[in-house]
Structure 1
């Protein structure tokens, strides 16, 4: 176990050293703060094993996490193993399982997996999850990828590693067994964007890097489509959906049919939902009458508190926004709300028209290679 202290200002360095004193298998690396990519590089430099697994600081794993990953890799001679995981949020646990369980050779990887890895045709659902922490990597192959990822990529670091690694794999095993506990806290979600131009620049770094790395294994049309929708989804989540220029003029409204002043209910207190409320707090496009979630908890933005999903009536709103970009989640939530008597015609869909999405990205300043050319 390699613990990387990336210039932590709290008590983590001492905690890491204490573990190393108790168990000789634990090794500690202290370094100046350089970000997640540089910390992972430092860990890999010091690794000696055949395989590499990652665990983030907030999370925890099943007792047999490494044992099962190792056996899946060895039994199938795989370069990469992908498993399910648990999402732990506000004391509730959701099980997430990959849909494409199986063993894939190099031809199947290039013909079936990679063309759907970032965007599987459903906006915006990944065929292979971006995360590095529910996967096992072959160390020698990972070295060919990780050290090439620029330290400046500080948005989507996992995606930069996962998809560029997938491009050089010859054998993949996907298992539905959930082994990793991903823990998300309310206060860990970024709730406001102070500088959208910087956000676009950082997203452009990631998207251009992915295009460069995946060009040898995917045709131009498929690759551009996958990255275009991935970029669009990330912009939507972090902007709160409504996209404004630097003069606070609205240039894009992805919520089909929703007009200024509409009485709106927002479903979801996750990242997208929080961004919807913080963006609206600044620009007052909607009249948000309720903020609801099945994961009910104490949280508020602009004096609007999260309420249980039963806390409204049909005559209290014009539109209901399900703040998710995952179509499977959207359909499941929509179905549950309709069972409760919610008029499905009032449930908003997100605009995914390819021509309009392409026009938006160009207007924001992204070129055909997804570099951000804005100021």
Structure 2
């Protein structure tokens, strides 16, 4: 009987899938059930899965009709035989000692969830740019964890399901699942749902999980007009989670995060790979900034930095044209001055 199930949802990942599978097969911890779930891929992903299943008896392959990553992860949960489960995306990689160290941590401290840090690895041709996101070291109850959740949110250690170990029994007994109705954020919703029912958490700072960003200059062309509404839904879920554990001093943090998320929704409209009309861009900016909850958060955070103050000033007066001009200028500066803009942006975000 395997001690840990590794679930890998796969859709058209043929270019990178072998690297992912090998990184799991080569783990120093060997008592694994490796689930390769082909979600209706139209490339050679299915063939790669079948080839590796012949190489390693721990690998189980399932081919199914395309239903999306959430449904695929939910399917994996029903097939899990291990005491614990971890999720790995098919274009990512994990360090060879990740599972062993997470397993030792969760067992030694008798925790319900173990978390490690991660790396963002941007790959362009033969060049790699690695940014490490260390996870704060922690061992304690869920309430104690939520008391310092700001730190884990800032290091992006909570939002995704990867780089973690979960108890399969906790997931199955509480019928926790990835919501299939969300176009994004379903992974964060899963983690929040798990936190609601678990008792203790352990985290280690080591960056063992690698989020691979292949050909990072080619960005997604998808535009989600409902993105701010999903962000607000996620923050409502976070607020509900905090209230469940009688934590009521995080409102300011949530307001700041909503402001950052709103700006992010608008900034991504200026990605060069997105074919967006001026009218659509204007509509998304309007629906994002003029959202009642968003505008309230900017009013509460207008003294936190100059950008929030300016956006609130313009939004309050419905000056959508000047708001557009502001973001146009901001994007022009980013493109023209690149590295300097990134440094200034990082400094500004550190003040949030």
TM-score range, shorter chain: 0.5 to 0.7
1:14 is aligned, of 30, 47, 51, to 47
What is the distance in 2 between the residues matched to 1:306 and 1:203? Answer: 30
Q: 2:127 matched to 1:75?
A: no
2:134 paired residue number: 97
The answer (yes or no) to whether the contact 1:87–1:181 under 8 Å persists in 2 is yes
What is the distance in 1 between the residues matched to 2:175 and 2:337? Answer: 40
1:162 is aligned, of 174, 191, 199, to 191
Compared CA separation, residues 173 and 321, structure 1 to 2 (3 A): closer
Partner SS for 2:283:
coil
2:146 is aligned, of 105, 110, 114, to 114
What is the distance in 2 between the residues matched to 1:283 and 1:127? Answer: 28
Deviation for aligned residue 1:116: 3.7
What is the distance in 1 between the residues matched to 2:285 and 2:85? Answer: 46
Deviation for aligned residue 1:210: 4.3
Partner SS for 1:103:
strand
The answer (yes or no) to whether the contact 1:72–1:81 under 8 Å persists in 2 is yes
Compared CA separation, residues 308 and 210, structure 1 to 2 (3 A): closer
1:303-330, CA deviations, whole angstroms, 9 ceiling, x for partnerless residues?
Answer: x577554xxxxxxxxx988445xx7x84
TM-score, length-scaled by structure 1: 0.62
1:141 paired residue number: 170
Partner SS for 1:16:
helix
2:86 is aligned, of 29, 49, 53, to 53
Deviation for aligned residue 1:142: 2.3
**How large is the RMSD of aligned CA atoms in angstroms?**
3.7
The answer (yes or no) to whether the contact 2:179–2:190 under 8 Å persists in 1 is no
1:35-89, CA deviations, whole angstroms, 9 ceiling, x for partnerless residues?
Answer: 2211111011001000111111111111122111111111111111111222211
The answer (yes or no) to whether the contact 2:145–2:201 under 8 Å persists in 1 is no
What is the distance in 2 between the residues matched to 1:181 and 1:248? Answer: 33
Q: Whose helix fraction is larger, Structure 1's or Structure 2's? A: 2
TM-score, length-scaled by structure 2: 0.66
The answer (yes or no) to whether the contact 1:89–1:184 under 8 Å persists in 2 is yes
What is the distance in 2 between the residues matched to 1:6 and 1:211? Answer: 33
Compared CA separation, residues 133 and 145, structure 1 to 2 (3 A): farther
Partner SS for 2:120:
strand
Deviation for aligned residue 1:28: 1.2
2:207 paired residue number: 178
The answer (yes or no) to whether the contact 2:118–2:208 under 8 Å persists in 1 is yes
What is the distance in 1 between the residues matched to 2:342 and 2:37? Answer: 44
The answer (yes or no) to whether the contact 2:37–2:62 under 8 Å persists in 1 is yes
What is the distance in 1 between the residues matched to 2:220 and 2:258? Answer: 18
Compared CA separation, residues 177 and 218, structure 1 to 2 (3 A): same
1:199 paired residue number: 227
Structure 2: stretches of 5+ with no match in the other structure = 1-33, 270-279, 299-305, 312-322
2:5 paired residue number: none
1:202-261, CA deviations, whole angstroms, 9 ceiling, x for partnerless residues?
Answer: 334444444555542244x446555444443323212118997639768579825779xx
What is the distance in 2 between the residues matched to 1:247 and 1:231? Answer: 16
Partner SS for 2:189:
helix
